[in-house]
Chain A
Amino acid sequence: MSLDKARNRYIPMSETMFYILLSLREARHGYAIMQHVKELTGGRIVLGAGTVYSSLGKLEGDGLIESVAEEDRRKIYKITSVGSAILREEAARIAELYKNSGGLL
């Protein structure tokens, strides 16, 4: 998927998608993604199997991540260059949100 199309589809993205992409800067399988996200968010976000499976399918289909290896029928995924670009743009958007909401807290 081209960057423009991916941008249209993924920005802004859900927390789930954001954290999955963030986790996949390192190669991981589904369960490891869940553990990593749980740790990052101090247990606030615990991704379920169905959510991880369907999100990975969608991200892979759109070329934001790719499967790099397979062990015991588990696929290991990693972010692609398109995925990294989208993740950075989303991070910039969130940083702007953060900056502009500073006065509220």
Chain B
Amino acid sequence: MKEKRIVLFPAFRKLVPANLEDWLERMAAEGWHIDRVRQWNSLWMTFKKGEPRKYRFVCDMQFAARKDYRATYEQFGWQYLGRMSSVRVWRMEYRDRRPEAFTDRDSVVQRNRRFVLAVSVSFTLFLIMIIFYAVQLTCFPDSLTESDRTQIIAVDALFSVFVILLGIVMLYIWKNRQR
């Protein structure tokens, strides 16, 4: 049996795409490998022990990839590991010059912008729910029983925490957009 190592919430610990890539690279350099990326890998990743290797990883958020997406990367020598949600994960082995998939400032910023955009979807959904409940509480208080009211306040408070957290995540990625 090969030695294994499980890491919980990798995508949440490394919120900035460049940090996730660097971390995967450090793991591979220590001989910890993930050869397939699947949907649930943002929640946990299983690494298998092997030979240390020098890999460059790239995380690319693509909501609706055109059909030449994979072929383009593969022709440049990238190996497709899979996707978690819309995040495609690629890797390439290298020796001296570390390969890059995004080679000018514009496309690096655009890549990071797509991550911010993805977070902003959940951000907006929670915000809409908060407003919806707040309107219900303030404009139609008579239609609610006391326990309804308590529940709605609790849910609204919870969603507010989510929205604040997601907002912080978006700001954090955006601050690191040049990387």
Contacts and interface: CB of A to CB of B under 8 A. Distances in A.
A55 B103 CA distance: 11
B78 to A, nearest CB: 6
Given A30-B72, A73-B68, A73-B71, A50 B104 contact: no
A52 interface: yes
Contact of B72 (A14, A49, A70): A49
Interface stretch (B5-13, B46-54, B105-113, B119-127): B105-113
A46 B73 CA distance: 14
A52 B66 CA distance: 13
A57 B90 CA distance: 19
Contact of B103 (A51, A57, A72, A74): A51
A54 interface: yes
Nearest to A30: B72
A49 B104 contact: no
B22 interface: no
Contacts of B66: 53, 57, 75
Interface string A25-45: 000011100100000000001
B104 A14 contact: yes
B146 to A, nearest CB: 54
B58 interface: yes
Interface of B: 58, 60, 66-73, 75-76, 78, 90, 99-104, 106-107, 110-111
Interface of A: 14-16, 29-31, 34, 45-55, 57, 70, 72-75
Question: Which 3 interchain pairs have the tightest Cβ spacing?
Answer: A50-B101, A49-B76, A48-B103
